[in-house]
Structure 1
């Protein structure tokens, strides 16, 4: 009896210990879990922050596309260039064509030296002028252009309007008649009024190439010519020229002369042209120095070593290009 009572008491004590141990374990476990939870940051805040960062990054790297246009993906070359310096990649990147331009590559023509005829006066290249041809006795071929006797009598006098203060002097003109005949003449003289604009007064020798001299008057057309077979340009100083005053003339130029300049004071000084076809330096500046000639096409020739020797024709060994 007493043994049975003692066994029952031992079983009750064992159950109490188990219950206390289990409760203590649960309490310790709860405390540990609470401690762990207290030491960790709130997960909802982390998730919210991560989501906001991801949205910001996606907006930065994937810009919204315009309506009707697909967003372009980054090419490998663009990705690689992002690690390099921005300046070289920007420099190497060709500009995109605007929608109004053609996407096809444009052909670039080889660059050519510019040719201008803006220096021409009334007589311009590639223009055909209507007029009338008359005839005169040219004698030895001298005239208002002051060239002196002419070895070739294929010469003409230009009407005063187109003579234009001797700008026409030395010009080569192709003259054509209605019958198909033609002749090339050089302007050496001026035909005063009543010669009308467009009118040419031809030497008898030149007129005879178009029609009998007895015809006297003939409807023609004419145009400026840049001939092939010409010699070189010569320079002549006018009588009375000196280092203190001079007049300079160019002879034998293929194309009409637009300007004559002399080197003076470290630069070029343009001389005024007279109606007798000399360029004057009234104060003597540049007389005996370098001379620069410019034709109506803009070509420039510089001549050195021409001494002030009045009324002496001095060769330059240069000539304007043919056009």
Structure 2
């Protein structure tokens, strides 16, 4: 895509059956990185380092603990992470159109207000940024956008806004503008937490999408046999337990990056349907009854590589409790081996 031009045309094709390819008119898919060559170079470097240590010890000199150095640029995703906290960042913005699709974060559809953003791989951080919000300021003002998609070719600081969001902060004729942006901490939520089991999920293969959480999520856990089992986030934003979590109904505990934690119960194995709990990630539980007894089917169901073999569990309404906040992690950690 030429920077500043809106994407149009038919919805992008599926990639790996999970997420759309971000390819439009005038946009070329980036060539695959020479992973094998990078691995070979890394192996040679590691071998050289080991030989150096061995020679130093053999000569009677203990290896010194050197000052930490920057990670090599060849490390994809090094120090990657979603925008967090109150840090104001500078960058640039372009725009595109998802054609109503929910982006790489696997939302069933784009948000109703059409205000969303795609982040480059470093800030998208393998799905860790999904569901968070950014306030973006440009020449004409500020707009709040939902992190919904990944822009594979965007470097850190490059925001690919929806056309509607870009028009709020700049004249679309400009195509590309300088911006500042920051994460929104505890944004007002549109509703209680939602849960969507992926197509093909069953008691033997568990995959759930959590929605309406406001802040980026740190973890999703499922109660099984008296213990909490951690699900693993995929880069398309589903949380997966590859060996399954039983037939349900399920109790699911969700924790965000700032330590808010909520637990929803009575969730069922209903692949492709959105179940509404009665709990918000923060700010207290909803006073309205749960709507999960009449779940809605997503209009954009995606096929799953796993066959469904589950039986229908009893119909239960989802309920939830809000747990006390847990300690929030630091934005980044530096590990120095051997020191």
Instruction: State the TM-score, normalized to the length of structure 2.
Output: 0.57
CA distance in 2, matches of 1:231, 1:137: 25
Shift of 1:242: 0.6
CA distance in 1, matches of 2:275, 2:86: 32
Match of 1:315 in 2: 276
CA distance in 2, matches of 1:158, 1:206: 14
More helix by share: 1
CA contact (8 A) 2:189 2:214 kept: no
Partner of residue 115 from structure 2, selected from 144, 154, 174: 154
1:17-72 per-position Cα deviation (integer Å, ceiling 9, x unaligned): xxxxxxxxxxxxxxxxxxxxxxxxxxxxxxxxxxxxxxxxxxxxxxxxxxxxxxxx
Which runs of 5 or more residues in structure 2 are unaligned? 1-79, 284-324, 326-339
CA contact (8 A) 1:259 1:295 kept: yes
Match of 1:25 in 2: none
CA contact (8 A) 2:140 2:168 kept: no
Give runs of aligned pairs for residues 7-22 of structure 1, distance below 5 A.
none
Match of 1:196 in 2: 155
Match of 1:255 in 2: 215
Give runs of aligned pairs for residues 48-127 of structure 1, distance below 5 A.
121-127=81-87
**Runs of 4+ in structure 1 displaced over 4 angstroms?**
none
Shift of 1:286: 5.3
Give me the CA root mean square deviation: 1.8
Instruction: State the TM-score, normalized to the length of structure 1.
Output: 0.60
1:205-247 per-position Cα deviation (integer Å, ceiling 9, x unaligned): 0000011212111111111113225211100000001111121
Match of 1:245 in 2: 205
Partner of residue 293 from structure 1, selected from 254, 266, 269: 254
CA distance in 2, matches of 1:265, 1:250: 22
Pair member with larger Rg: 1
2:133 aligned with 1:168? no
2:264 aligned with 1:303? yes
Shift of 1:121: 4.0
2:258 aligned with 1:273? no
